[in-house]
Amino acid sequence: MTVLSDRDIKKAISSGKIVIQGLQEEHIGPSSIDLRLGNKFMVFKHAEVTHIDPRENAKDELMSLIEIPEGQSFIIHPGEFVLSNTMEYVKLPGDMVGRLDGRSSWGRLGIVIHSTAGSIDPGFEGQLTLEMANISKVPVKLWPGSRICRLTFDMLSSPSENPYNTRKGSKYLKQTGPQPSRISGD
């Protein structure tokens, strides 16, 4: 696989091969695009939930959605895990994989941007859900609109036979806002 350079990213965007709604040109780096933090956060109802059973997924019973008004922040406490999303809406072609990484500046504050899901399938379309955790010993303010992660692009050796947007059972296609686990659909 080949990682796209800024020149190739711009070419893919201008041709419509990659679609990133809400992209700001100055967020294109040498080999990636910085994406911004959305204003919606899902938090576990830890005081009400005795356990999580992945076979019985009931998001309303497990998590609460918090929407942060413009100009305000969300505080993520030490040891806390939350879901959020990117402001940008991403659409990848069937011959490209996206890789999501946290930005180093946030990592140096103890903020992990994704716990496991760092790969975006060929054919995916939607806002990206961020699996965020604070591994430091102090609370950190998260400001919606901040550049929170970066997306790189790898070309496949050939187009996928069964990209995400045509695969039966694609649970997160065209998602907007943070989406909880749909593992019970496996």
The tokens describing 165, both together, are 């947007």
Task: Compute CA distances 34 → 25, 29, 42, 54, whole Å.
Answer: 10, 7, 22, 32
131 is catalytic: yes
Rounded to 5 degrees, φ, ψ at 58 are -130, 90
**Beta-strand pair 81-91/125-134:** antiparallel
Strand partners, 142: 74
Strand partners, 111: 134
The number of C-alpha atoms within 13 Å of 144 and in the hemisphere containing its C-beta is: 18
Handedness of CA 30, 178, 143, 46 (dihedral sign): negative
Show Cβ contacts of residue 169 under 8 Å, excluding neighbours closer than 6 positions.
185
Catalytic member of 48, 61, 88, 131: 131
CB-count burial class (<10 Å; 0-12, 13-18, 19+) for 149: buried
Active site residues: 131
